[in-house]
């Protein structure tokens, strides 16, 4: 006979569904359309359950972004640790950063910041969340930087690499176009970024 779930387990499952549905709504519909009703529909839970767990919509959005960021960070740290000292350390780091900046989390946060440009209250609420996200990415990257050489040399290169990846991710995710470009832009950029970090001078 299957073990019955406890009330706490059911509550945790509902919260998990709401968090994942919030990110999905932000990516697919944007911030203005991410309402409690829409999130509840995507999560397939009742509207009452949504308001019970998160009476304030931005608390749900903030928790969803933090939850996904922390989950991705744990995965990135694990994969980064496996790369340390291997021949694939730099290519692997480049690929990890590309995965992060082309993820649903990145797309959701970009949409939040676009909305915040004309919404001072939202911008104020986003500031601590943005600091948290920057810290997540930096903590993963800093775990590898020491292996790549002098921080004074590697630091600016890594900043350039991250800016290039972020810029391409924005283009790939949000550039208006009727069809996909014929050139694999990430495939063209990747070896250049690898060479930039591997170069001794």
Mean pLDDT of 3-24: 88
Please say if the pLDDT value at position 2 is more than 60: no
Per-position DSSP letters for the chain, written without gaps between them: -PPPPPHHHHHHHHHHHHHHHHHHHHHHH-STT--HHHHHHHHT--HHHHHHH-SSHHHHHHHHHHHHHHHHHHHHHHHHHHHTTSTTHHHHHHHHHHHHHTSHHHHHHHHHHHHHTT-HHHHHHHHHHHHHHHHHHHHHHHHHHHHHS-HHHHHHHHHHHHHHHHHHHHHHHH---SS--SS-HHHHHHHHHHHHHH---
Per-residue pLDDT at 134:
80
pTM greater than 0.85 (yes/no): no
For the stretch 68-115, pLDDT in tens is 888 888 888 888 888 877 888 889 889 988 998 888 988 998 998 889
* From 20-24, 36-40, 68-72, 137-141, the region with the lowest mean pLDDT: 137-141
For the stretch 153-190, pLDDT in tens is 677 888 899 899 999 999 988 888 777 777 889 999 99
For the stretch 117-151, pLDDT in tens is 888 888 888 888 888 878 877 777 776 666 666 66
Phi/psi of residue 178, each to 5°?
-85, -25
Per-residue pLDDT at 43:
95
């Amino acid at each position: 006979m299957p073990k019955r779930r406890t009330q706490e387990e059911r509550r945790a499952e509902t919260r998990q569904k709401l968090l994942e549905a919030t990110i999905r709504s932000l990516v697919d519909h944007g911030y203005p359309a991410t309402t409690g009703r829409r999130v509840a529909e995507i999560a397939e839970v009742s509207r009452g359950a949504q308001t019970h767990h998160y009476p304030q919509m931005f608390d749900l959005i903030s928790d969803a972004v933090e939850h996904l960021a922390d989950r991705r960070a744990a995965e990135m740290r694990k994969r980064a640790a496996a790369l340390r000292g291997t021949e694939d350390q730099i290519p692997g780091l480049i690929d990890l950063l590309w995965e992060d900046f082309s993820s649903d989390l990145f797309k959701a946060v970009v949409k939040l910041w676009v909305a915040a440009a004309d919404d001072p209250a939202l911008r104020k609420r986003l500031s601590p969340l943005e600091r948290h996200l920057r810290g997540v990415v930096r903590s993963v990257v800093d775990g590898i930087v020491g292996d790549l050489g002098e921080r004074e040399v590697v630091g600016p290169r890594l900043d350039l690499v991250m800016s290039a990846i972020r810029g391409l991710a924005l283009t790939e995710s949000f550039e208006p176009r009727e069809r996909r470009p014929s050139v694999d832009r990430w495939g063209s950029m990747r070896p250049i970024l690898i060479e930039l970090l591997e170069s001794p001078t």
